[in-house]
Amino acid sequence: MRAHPGLAEIERARAAIAGRVRRTPARLSPRLAERLGVPVVLKHEHEQITGAFKLRGATNALANLSEDERARGVVTVSTGNHGRALAHAAREAGVRCVVAMSRLVPGNKRDAIAALGAEIAIHGASQDEAQEEVDRRVAEGGLVEIPPFDHPDVIAGQGTLGLEIVEDVPDLAQVLIPLSGGGLAAGVAAAVKAKRPHARIVGITMERGAAMHASLAAGRPVLVEEAPSLADSLGGGIGLANRHTFPMLRDLMDEVVLLTEDEITLGMAFCHVAEGVMVEGGGAVGPGAILAGKVRPIGPTVALLTGANVDPAQHARIVSDPEILERLA
C-alpha cells in the first residue's frame, strides 16, 4: 500500500496541476466575523473551473497515470462533483472516462457530467452500490479506477487547497471543511498541520448518513444508511477497506460538527444573501455551522465554500423563502 500523502506529495501535486486549475479567492466575511467574534475568511473554491474543489484531485491523479493506464481509460464512482471533475480532466487529457452514480445523484449533476463527454452508468440506490459497477468495469473492461477520495494522488491534489489557505491567512487558527469521504479534509489537514501545527481542523457534515463521523466514533470504517439531504455532495460511505482518509483524519482532525437540514438551508441562503454567491448545500456547511453557533471563536477562521453545482430551481426556492430571509435579516 502506498504511504499516506504528506507535504512533499502535496507540493508535487501543486506543480503537476499548475495552469490546469484556478487559485481561488479568499475573502473576508464581515457578517460571519461579527457573528463569530473573530476574523472569518471564505475560500471561494466553488469558483473552481468545474464548480467544485474536486478538479484538484482528479487532475493530479490523471497526471500521475502511466501511458498504458491512460490508454485503458478511467472509471470512478461519484455523487456528482468528483465525476464532473474527472470528466473534465479526462477530456482535457484525451482519456476515456466512465462515471458510475446511484439514483440519488441529482439530475443536474448527471447531465453536467454527460455534457463533458463521460459515459454515465446509473447503478443502485447508494454510493456503495454504485461502486459495484466500478468494480465490474475494472474487472471486465480493464479500466483504471480513480476513486473520489481514498487515493493518495487525489488526496494530495485536494491538499493544494490547504497550501493556498495558509498563504491566504498566515495567522490561521482553524479551518472549517465540508466532510464526506474525507479526501478534501485529509489533504487540507495534512497541508495545514505541516505548516501550522496548532491550527484546528474542523469537519462539517450533515446529520443524515454522516459516514466518516460514524466511522471515527466507532474506531473503524462502518456502513451507514444514506438518506436524501440538501448536502447531497457529502453523502456516501467511506469504504470498509478505507486505506487513507480514515486513518489520516483519525490522526489529524480535531472535531466534527453535524448540521440539521435547516442549518444547511440557512447556510445556503446566507451565501446568496450576504455574500452574493450560489453555493450548494454541501459547500455551504461552514457558514451554516457558524450561524448555528456550533463553531468555537478561537481566532482567524477559514470556511471553505466547496461547490456551486446546485439545482437552480432548488436554490431559487431556498433563497426566495420569506421565512428564511427573515431569519437572516
10-14: Cβ within 8 A, 24+ apart: 10/156, 10/159, 10/160, 10/162, 10/163, 10/187, 10/190, 10/191, 11/163, 12/156, 13/56, 13/60, 13/153, 13/156, 13/157, 13/159, 13/160, 14/160, 14/163
pLDDT at 161: 98
pLDDT along the chain (329 residues), means of 10: 92 98 98 98 97 96 97 93 94 96 87 95 89 95 95 98 98 98 97 98 95 97 90 88 97 98 97 96 98 98 95 92 89
pLDDT at 1: 67
The dihedrals phi and psi of 291, each to the nearest 5 degrees, come to -60, -30
pLDDT at 157: 98
Q: Residue 256: helix, strand or coil by DSSP?
A: strand
Cell numbers standing for residue 261:
437540514
DSSP lists the bridge partners of residue 214 as none
What is the C-alpha to C-alpha distance for residues 162 and 166, in angstroms, rounded to an integer?
Answer: 6
CATH 3.40.50.1100 domain locations along the chain = 7-53+151-328, 55-145
Class of domain 7-53+151-328: alpha beta
- pTM, entire model: 0.94
What is the C-alpha to C-alpha distance for residues 174 and 158, in angstroms, rounded to an integer?
Answer: 17
CATH of 55-145, one of 3.40.50.1100, 3.40.50.620, 3.40.640.10, 1.10.3720.10: 3.40.50.1100
- The C-alpha angle with vertex 276 and arms to 271 and 282, in degrees rounded to 5, equals 30
pLDDT at 142: 96
What is the C-alpha to C-alpha distance for residues 62 and 85, in angstroms, rounded to an integer?
Answer: 11
pLDDT at 178: 98
pLDDT at 254: 98
99-102: Cβ within 8 A, 24+ apart: 99/75, 100/75, 100/76, 100/130, 100/131, 100/133, 100/134, 100/137, 101/77, 101/130, 102/126, 102/127, 102/129, 102/130, 102/226
What is the C-alpha to C-alpha distance for residues 4 and 186, in angstroms, rounded to an integer?
Answer: 10
- Match 459516514 to its residue by C-alpha cell: 211
